[in-house]
Amino acid sequence: MGSWPHLAARTAAVLLAAGSLAGASTGCGSSSSSSNGVASKSPEQIVTATKAVAASAKSVHLAGSIVSRGTPITLDLDVLAGSGARGRLSENGLGFELIDTAGTVYIKGSAAFYRRVGGAAAATLLQGKWLKAPASSPEFASISTLTDLGTLIDTTLSGHGTLSKGATTTIKGTKVIGITDVQKGGTLYVATSGPPYPIEITKSGASGGTVTFDHWNEPLTIKAPAGAIDISQLRAAH
Protein backbone atom coordinates (compact mmCIF):
# COMPACT_ATOMS: atom_id res chain seq x y z
CA MET A 1 0.00 0.00 0.00
CA GLY A 2 2.95 2.36 0.03
CA SER A 3 3.47 5.01 2.69
CA TRP A 4 0.04 6.61 2.92
CA PRO A 5 -0.35 6.03 6.70
CA HIS A 6 2.71 8.18 7.34
CA LEU A 7 0.85 11.28 6.13
CA ALA A 8 -1.50 10.91 9.09
CA ALA A 9 1.44 10.53 11.45
CA ARG A 10 3.22 13.52 9.93
CA THR A 11 0.10 15.67 10.25
CA ALA A 12 -0.09 14.80 13.94
CA ALA A 13 3.52 15.83 14.39
CA VAL A 14 2.94 19.09 12.50
CA LEU A 15 -0.03 19.94 14.66
CA LEU A 16 2.15 19.60 17.74
CA ALA A 17 4.58 21.99 16.12
CA ALA A 18 1.72 24.40 15.59
CA GLY A 19 0.76 24.02 19.23
CA SER A 20 4.30 24.99 20.12
CA LEU A 21 3.97 28.23 18.14
CA ALA A 22 2.87 29.77 21.40
CA GLY A 23 3.76 27.00 23.76
CA ALA A 24 0.08 26.22 24.25
CA SER A 25 -3.09 24.86 22.74
CA THR A 26 -6.00 26.77 21.23
CA GLY A 27 -9.65 27.13 22.10
CA CYS A 28 -12.89 29.05 22.17
CA GLY A 29 -14.01 30.93 25.20
CA SER A 30 -17.34 31.77 26.74
CA SER A 31 -19.44 34.68 25.52
CA SER A 32 -19.94 35.82 29.11
CA SER A 33 -19.17 39.50 29.62
CA SER A 34 -17.84 39.05 33.17
CA SER A 35 -14.08 39.12 33.58
CA ASN A 36 -12.39 35.91 34.70
CA GLY A 37 -9.35 37.76 36.05
CA VAL A 38 -6.68 36.13 33.88
CA ALA A 39 -5.66 39.39 32.23
CA SER A 40 -4.15 40.54 35.53
CA LYS A 41 -2.09 37.36 35.97
CA SER A 42 1.45 36.69 34.81
CA PRO A 43 1.92 34.98 31.42
CA GLU A 44 2.92 31.74 33.14
CA GLN A 45 -0.12 31.85 35.41
CA ILE A 46 -2.39 32.41 32.39
CA VAL A 47 -0.97 29.36 30.60
CA THR A 48 -1.43 27.27 33.75
CA ALA A 49 -5.05 28.41 34.11
CA THR A 50 -5.95 27.76 30.49
CA LYS A 51 -4.29 24.33 30.61
CA ALA A 52 -6.37 23.36 33.63
CA VAL A 53 -9.74 24.24 32.10
CA ALA A 54 -8.88 22.81 28.67
CA ALA A 55 -7.66 19.52 30.14
CA SER A 56 -10.95 19.03 31.98
CA ALA A 57 -13.10 19.58 28.88
CA LYS A 58 -15.32 16.81 27.51
CA SER A 59 -15.08 17.78 23.83
CA VAL A 60 -13.69 20.40 21.47
CA HIS A 61 -13.52 21.31 17.78
CA LEU A 62 -10.06 21.91 16.32
CA ALA A 63 -9.40 23.61 12.97
CA GLY A 64 -6.59 25.43 11.23
CA SER A 65 -4.05 25.76 8.47
CA ILE A 66 -0.30 25.50 8.99
CA VAL A 67 2.82 25.11 6.85
CA SER A 68 5.42 22.36 7.29
CA ARG A 69 8.61 22.55 5.21
CA GLY A 70 6.79 24.64 2.64
CA THR A 71 3.80 22.27 2.45
CA PRO A 72 0.34 23.56 3.47
CA ILE A 73 -1.54 21.32 5.88
CA THR A 74 -5.14 21.83 7.00
CA LEU A 75 -7.13 20.08 9.69
CA ASP A 76 -10.70 20.06 10.94
CA LEU A 77 -11.38 17.69 13.83
CA ASP A 78 -13.95 17.07 16.56
CA VAL A 79 -12.32 15.49 19.61
CA LEU A 80 -14.24 13.69 22.38
CA ALA A 81 -12.46 13.02 25.67
CA GLY A 82 -11.98 9.31 26.24
CA SER A 83 -13.55 8.33 22.91
CA GLY A 84 -11.38 9.60 20.06
CA ALA A 85 -12.03 11.99 17.20
CA ARG A 86 -13.47 12.48 13.72
CA GLY A 87 -12.74 14.96 10.97
CA ARG A 88 -10.55 15.68 7.98
CA LEU A 89 -6.83 16.25 7.36
CA SER A 90 -5.11 17.32 4.15
CA GLU A 91 -1.58 17.90 2.91
CA ASN A 92 -0.91 20.04 -0.14
CA GLY A 93 -4.55 19.71 -1.20
CA LEU A 94 -4.75 15.91 -0.85
CA GLY A 95 -7.03 15.02 2.03
CA PHE A 96 -8.60 12.15 3.90
CA GLU A 97 -11.35 11.67 6.46
CA LEU A 98 -10.31 10.33 9.85
CA ILE A 99 -12.18 8.54 12.65
CA ASP A 100 -10.48 7.23 15.78
CA THR A 101 -12.67 5.28 18.18
CA ALA A 102 -12.53 2.19 20.39
CA GLY A 103 -8.85 1.63 19.70
CA THR A 104 -9.15 1.64 15.91
CA VAL A 105 -8.24 4.32 13.36
CA TYR A 106 -10.33 4.61 10.18
CA ILE A 107 -9.24 6.60 7.12
CA LYS A 108 -11.04 7.34 3.84
CA GLY A 109 -9.17 9.23 1.13
CA SER A 110 -10.15 10.77 -2.16
CA ALA A 111 -9.19 9.05 -5.42
CA ALA A 112 -6.33 11.54 -5.81
CA PHE A 113 -5.10 10.72 -2.31
CA TYR A 114 -5.17 6.96 -2.87
CA ARG A 115 -3.50 7.40 -6.26
CA ARG A 116 -0.64 9.35 -4.74
CA VAL A 117 0.04 6.96 -1.88
CA GLY A 118 -0.82 3.66 -3.55
CA GLY A 119 -0.91 4.14 -7.32
CA ALA A 120 -3.67 3.88 -9.90
CA ALA A 121 -4.71 0.40 -8.83
CA ALA A 122 -5.21 1.52 -5.23
CA ALA A 123 -7.25 4.51 -6.37
CA THR A 124 -9.59 2.20 -8.28
CA LEU A 125 -9.80 -0.43 -5.55
CA LEU A 126 -10.28 1.92 -2.61
CA GLN A 127 -12.39 4.72 -4.08
CA GLY A 128 -15.09 5.60 -1.53
CA LYS A 129 -13.93 2.96 0.97
CA TRP A 130 -12.77 3.21 4.57
CA LEU A 131 -9.55 1.55 5.72
CA LYS A 132 -8.88 0.59 9.33
CA ALA A 133 -5.94 -0.34 11.56
CA PRO A 134 -5.32 -0.56 15.32
CA ALA A 135 -4.58 2.82 16.86
CA SER A 136 -1.55 1.19 18.48
CA SER A 137 -0.01 0.21 15.13
CA PRO A 138 3.33 1.91 14.26
CA GLU A 139 1.77 3.94 11.44
CA PHE A 140 -0.81 5.51 13.73
CA ALA A 141 1.01 5.77 17.04
CA SER A 142 1.31 9.57 16.84
CA ILE A 143 -2.34 9.98 15.82
CA SER A 144 -3.22 9.80 19.51
CA THR A 145 -1.66 13.24 19.91
CA LEU A 146 -4.51 14.52 17.76
CA THR A 147 -7.38 12.30 18.82
CA ASP A 148 -6.84 11.89 22.57
CA LEU A 149 -8.01 15.12 24.16
CA GLY A 150 -5.94 14.71 27.31
CA THR A 151 -2.75 14.03 25.34
CA LEU A 152 -3.47 16.86 22.93
CA ILE A 153 -3.94 19.45 25.65
CA ASP A 154 -1.03 18.26 27.77
CA THR A 155 1.42 18.15 24.86
CA THR A 156 0.50 21.43 23.21
CA LEU A 157 0.38 23.34 26.49
CA SER A 158 3.89 22.25 27.47
CA GLY A 159 7.39 23.15 26.40
CA HIS A 160 7.05 26.90 25.92
CA GLY A 161 9.93 29.35 26.17
CA THR A 162 9.97 32.81 27.73
CA LEU A 163 6.46 34.29 27.68
CA SER A 164 5.39 37.91 27.21
CA LYS A 165 1.89 39.24 27.89
CA GLY A 166 0.33 41.58 25.34
CA ALA A 167 -2.69 43.84 25.31
CA THR A 168 -6.30 42.66 25.47
CA THR A 169 -8.17 42.47 22.18
CA THR A 170 -11.17 40.72 20.61
CA ILE A 171 -11.21 37.62 18.38
CA LYS A 172 -14.48 36.42 16.85
CA GLY A 173 -16.45 38.41 19.40
CA THR A 174 -14.56 37.06 22.42
CA LYS A 175 -12.35 39.28 24.56
CA VAL A 176 -8.87 37.80 24.86
CA ILE A 177 -5.39 38.40 26.21
CA GLY A 178 -2.39 37.58 24.03
CA ILE A 179 0.59 35.59 25.34
CA THR A 180 3.63 35.47 23.04
CA ASP A 181 6.42 32.92 23.17
CA VAL A 182 9.45 35.15 22.74
CA GLN A 183 11.70 32.39 21.36
CA LYS A 184 9.21 30.72 19.03
CA GLY A 185 7.39 33.84 17.92
CA GLY A 186 3.81 32.58 18.16
CA THR A 187 0.96 34.12 20.10
CA LEU A 188 -1.68 32.35 22.18
CA TYR A 189 -4.96 34.17 22.80
CA VAL A 190 -6.89 33.27 25.96
CA ALA A 191 -10.47 34.28 26.80
CA THR A 192 -10.71 36.92 29.51
CA SER A 193 -14.38 36.19 30.27
CA GLY A 194 -15.99 32.94 31.29
CA PRO A 195 -13.64 29.94 31.56
CA PRO A 196 -10.15 30.97 30.36
CA TYR A 197 -10.18 28.68 27.34
CA PRO A 198 -7.59 29.34 24.66
CA ILE A 199 -9.06 30.93 21.52
CA GLU A 200 -6.35 30.90 18.91
CA ILE A 201 -2.67 30.32 18.19
CA THR A 202 -1.18 32.29 15.36
CA LYS A 203 2.27 32.71 13.88
CA SER A 204 3.33 34.69 10.83
CA GLY A 205 6.01 33.79 8.33
CA ALA A 206 6.75 30.92 5.96
CA SER A 207 6.40 28.28 8.69
CA GLY A 208 3.44 29.90 10.39
CA GLY A 209 -0.30 29.43 10.45
CA THR A 210 -3.35 29.64 12.65
CA VAL A 211 -5.05 26.96 14.75
CA THR A 212 -8.25 27.46 16.73
CA PHE A 213 -10.35 25.42 19.15
CA ASP A 214 -14.06 26.06 19.72
CA HIS A 215 -17.34 24.31 20.67
CA TRP A 216 -15.91 23.22 24.00
CA ASN A 217 -18.06 20.67 25.88
CA GLU A 218 -20.74 20.41 23.20
CA PRO A 219 -22.49 17.01 22.80
CA LEU A 220 -20.55 14.78 20.42
CA THR A 221 -20.89 11.15 19.27
CA ILE A 222 -18.20 9.26 17.37
CA LYS A 223 -19.15 6.04 15.56
CA ALA A 224 -17.05 3.61 13.55
CA PRO A 225 -17.91 3.48 9.82
CA ALA A 226 -19.41 0.26 8.49
CA GLY A 227 -17.60 -2.00 6.01
CA ALA A 228 -14.05 -0.75 6.62
CA ILE A 229 -11.21 -2.76 5.04
CA ASP A 230 -8.47 -3.94 7.38
CA ILE A 231 -5.10 -2.59 6.26
CA SER A 232 -3.44 -5.89 7.18
CA GLN A 233 -5.48 -7.60 4.46
CA LEU A 234 -4.14 -5.15 1.87
CA ARG A 235 -0.59 -5.67 3.04
CA ALA A 236 -1.00 -9.43 2.76
CA ALA A 237 -2.25 -9.07 -0.81
CA HIS A 238 0.79 -7.03 -1.89
Could you state, in chain order, the average pLDDT of each consecutive group of 10 residues for the chain (238 residues)? 46 48 39 80 92 91 83 89 91 87 92 83 88 84 77 70 90 92 83 92 80 91 94 65
Q: What is the pLDDT of residue 38?
A: 96
Distance CA 150, CA 144 (A): 10
Beta carbons of 183 and 7 less than 8 angstroms apart: no
Residue 180, strand partner residues = 164, 187
Where do the domains of the chain lie, and which CATH numbers do they carry? 5-231 (2.50.20.20)
Provide the residue type at 6 as one letter: H
